[in-house]
Amino acid sequence: MDSRLKDLAEKLDAGLIARREFLRRAAVVTGGTAVGLQTLSKMAGAQSQTKVRVWLFKSFVTAGNDVLEKQIQNWAKDRKVTAEIDWATFGDREQKFVAAIEAGNPPDIAEMQILGPMRYKAALRDVSKVAGDIAAARGGMLPFADRSMKLDGKYYGVPRYSMTTVFYIRKDIMGAKGLKPPTVYDPGVVEFAKKTQDVSKGLYGFGQTLNRSDDGNGFMQNILWNYGGGSWDKDGKPALATTFHDQNLKALQFAVDTITKHKIQPPGVMGWTDVSNNEAFMAGNLVTTNNGASLYYAMVAKKHELASKTLLVLTPGGPAGSFVGSSCYNWGIFQKSKYADLGEDMIRYLEDEERFAEYMKVSVGQAGPVYKKRTEDPYWKSDPNFTAIMQNIIRSVPTGYPGPVTPAAVEVYAQNTLTDMAGRVATAGLSPEAALKEAHARVEEIYKARRS
C-alpha cells in the first residue's frame, strides 16, 4: 500500500480525520499517482524503438531455430529496430494465430506452415511482389509450393523451405536379410516387413499410425493418391465415395490390413501420436517407418547408434504411382502490421542465399528447397540419405490434389477425417465401405459449409 494512503488510513482509524476527508484525500493521492504513471509511460514510449513482432515456428531441429533467431536479431540491429520474437510449435501455433487474429492483435510477420496462407488469407497482406522477386532470382518456385502460396492469383506467403516425409529403413537388418528397399506398399513393404520383423523380440516390420496425428493424416492422404484416389476430384469437389470410390476403398483396405491382416505393425499403433514412431524406431523396435527429416536429425545430433544404420528412401507407392504431400513453410505479413515494408525487408534479408544456406546446413535435411535453384545446392549431395528427401520434395503435391487447394480441402485434413475413417475400420469394426461413406458425408458437409 502507498505510504500516504497507509498514513491516511491510520489517521481515520485514530479518529483524527473524518471519513469524508479520508475519501477526498485518498482520491487526490490515487488520481495523482495514476496521472503521473501515464505521463511516464508516454515519455518511455516516445523514446522506444520501432518494434517488429515476429512469430516463428519452433522446430524440433533446435540448431535451425538458433540460427534463425540469430539472423533476425542481426537484421534488427542492422535496421536499428527491435525484433520481438515469439515461438509456437506443432500443438499450439494455429491456436495462437486464431486468438491473435480474432483479438485484432496479430504479429507483424509470421513463419507459417503450408496451410497458413489459405487459413488466414483474410488477415494476410498480398506479398506477390516480394514473393515474385525472390522466386525469380532463384529459378522460380517448385510447383507444389507455388500452388499452396498463390490464391486467386495473389501470393499470401513467401516460401522458405519444405519439410517432407521419407521412408526410414534399418539398413543393417535389410542387409542381413539380403533385401532391397521396397518401392511399393503392396506387396513390397508388406513382404519386406514380414521377412525382417521378429515379433518375439518386439521388432516390427512397419510402424505407421492411422490415429489422429500429422503422421496419420499424411499417410492416409498419400495412400489414397497412391491408389489413384483422393478426397477431391480435379475440380475440387468431394470424391471420396463417388469419383474415386473404388480406388479409395482399396487404399483404405490396405491401410487397415497392415494392422489387422498382415500384422506387420506393433499392437498399440492405433494409439500413437506424432512422436511415437520416432521413439519406437530409435528404441530399435521398428524396421521401417515414415517420418520427416527430424528423426534423422535427432539421431545424427545425438550420435545415436542407429544413425549410421538408417537408410532414407523415397516413400513407397501404389498402383497409380508414388505420391507425397510436403509442407512448405513460408513468411506471411499481416494486414494490421504498421511495418509491412520492414517485414518485406526482413524476408529478403533472411532469404539471402548465404543466410539460408547457414540455416539449411544445420537443419540436417529438414530445410528442403522450395525454389528450383536451391535444389542444385551441393549440400543435397553431401549425404546419400538426402537424395530421398530432395526427390520427395520435387514430386510433392499439395493438399486438395488433384484439385486446387481450397478451404474445404484444408479443413478435411485438419479435422482428421481420413484418420477417423481408418480408425473406424481398424478399431470400431466398421466395414471399409461404411467408413468410406461416413467420411464422404463429412467431406460433403465441410464442402457445403465452406462453399456457403
Partner 1 sequence: MSITTAELGAKTALGPKREGPLVGLARMLGPDHRLGYLFILPTVVLVLALVAYPFCYAIYLSLTRKYVGVPPVFVGFDNYVKLTFDGFFQRAVINSFIFTFGSVAVKLVLGMVMALVLTSGIRFRSFWTGVLLIPWVAPTVVSALNFLWIFDYSLGVLNYMLVKVFHLLPQGVGWLSEPGTAMASVIGVNIWRGFPFFGISFLAGLRSIPVEMYEAAAVDGAGPLLRFRHVTLPGIRNILIIVMLLSTIWTFNDFQIVYILTKGGPGGATQVLPVFTYEIAFGAQRLGEAIAVALYMLPALAAVIIVLARYMRQGRSR
DSSP state for residue 383 in the 8-state scheme: S
**Within positions 230 to 269, which residues make up the interface with partner 1, using CB under 8 A?**
266-269
Pick 94 or 377: Cβ nearer partner 1: 94
Binding segment (CB under 8 A) for partner 1, from list 243-251, 273-281, 349-357, 390-398: 273-281
CA–CA distance from 234 to each of 7, 145, 302 (Å)? 78, 18, 44
Nearest-angstrom CA–CA distance, 219 and 211: 10
CA-CA distance, 203 to 435, in Å (whole number)?
30
Give the residue with the Cβ less far from partner 1, 149 or 426. Answer: 426
Cα separation, 248 vs 356, whole angstroms? 40
Q: Give the one residue of 101, 130, 135, 220 binding partner 1; rule: CB under 8 A.
A: 101
Which lies closer to partner 1 via its Cβ, residue 243 or residue 427? Answer: 427
DSSP collapsed to 3 states, 121-182: HHHECCCHHHHHHHHHCCCCECHHHHHHHEECCEECCEEEEEECEEEEEEHHHHHHCCCCCC
For residues 116 to 155, the per-residue mask of contacts with partner 1, x marking binding by CB under 8 A and - elsewhere, is ---xxxxx--------------------------------
Q: Segment near partner 1 (CB under 8 A), from 114-122, 373-381, 385-393, 394-402?
A: 114-122
Are 288 and 181 in contact by the 8 Å Cβ rule? The answer is no
The reply to whether 81 sits near partner 1 by the rule CB under 8 A is no
Work out how close the CB of 31 gets to partner 1 at its nearest, in angstroms, rounded to a whole number.
Answer: 14
> Does residue 434 bind partner 1 (CB under 8 A)?
no
Q: Is 215 in the site for partner 1 (CB under 8 A)?
A: no
Asked whether 161 and 368 are in contact (CB, 8 A), the reply is yes
**How far are the Cα atoms of 167, 257, 268, 325 from residue 208, in angstroms, in the given order?**
11, 12, 11, 16
CB count in 10 Å sphere of residue 88: 17
Please tell me whether residue 280 binds partner 1 under the rule CB under 8 A: yes
Q: Are 389 and 432 in contact (CB under 8 A)?
A: no
Name the segment binding partner 1 (CB under 8 A); options: 70-78, 80-88, 206-214, 228-236.
206-214
Q: Which of residues 368-407 bind partner 1 (CB under 8 A)?
A: none
Are 4 and 29 within 8 A, CB to CB? Answer: yes
Residue ranges that bind partner 1, judged by CB under 8 A: 19-20, 23, 94-95, 97-98, 101-102, 119-123, 202, 210-213, 266-273, 276, 279-280, 283, 285, 411, 414-416, 419-428, 438, 441-442, 445-446, 449, 452
